[in-house]
A = this chain, B = another copy of it.
Amino acid sequence: MNVEFINPFLTSLLNVMSTMASMELEPGKPALKTDPIAKGDVSGLIGMVGPQTKGSLSITFERELILTTMQKMLGEEHEEIDDEVTDLVGEITNMVTGGAKNILSDKGYEFEMATPMVVTGKDHTISHKAKGKKIIMPFSSEFGTAFIEICFEH
């Protein structure tokens, strides 16, 4: 799994958060993930299947960050991670993956997206079980941190 394949997902998350929620996230340093350390309050997860590869992606948000995103994106104040908030996390997951899919398609990498799932729970962790390297990258903001994790197998 190379940078050319990963970067479109990171770019797409920045684009979605900027254009949809006027949130400018600060990308941190990508790292190889060796244990399920991404802790957050709500995560969107999606599977991908293509002729060359298959894998999974997750985007984990800290509570304040997703509630602020909800407010900026939809103008709605939510105090808790309720169904509408998880719907938004699912939509963001879809949009980020769809954006990356378009960029990668232009480069000759094709895959189909499954439907998103959203997990809630204080300090839940996610382990991607594809047989390949796991990339994790934090994105920080004044409202908290989001983590994107990607794992593909060949």
Q: Which residues of A contact B (CB under 8 A)?
A: 35-36, 43, 45-49, 54-56, 58, 83, 86-87, 90, 94, 112-131, 151, 153
Contacts and interface: CB of A to CB of B under 8 A. Distances in A.
Contacts of A125: 119-121
A90 B90 CA distance: 22
A118 B112 contact: no
A115 B36 contact: no
Contacts of A117: 45, 47, 56, 58, 126-129
A36 B116 contact: no
Contact of A56 (B48, B115, B120): B115
B129 A87 contact: yes
Contacts of A94: 129
Identical subunits present: 2
Given A43-B119, A119-B124, A119-B125, 9 more contacts: A36-B83, A49-B112, A49-B113, A49-B114, A87-B129, A115-B151, A116-B129, A117-B127, A120-B125
6 contacts: A47-B48, A47-B117, A49-B113, A54-B113, A56-B114, A119-B124
A120 B86 contact: no
Given A47-B46, A120-B36, A122-B121, A115 B86 contact: no
Nearest to A112: B49
Contacts of A130: 115
A129 B47 CA distance: 12
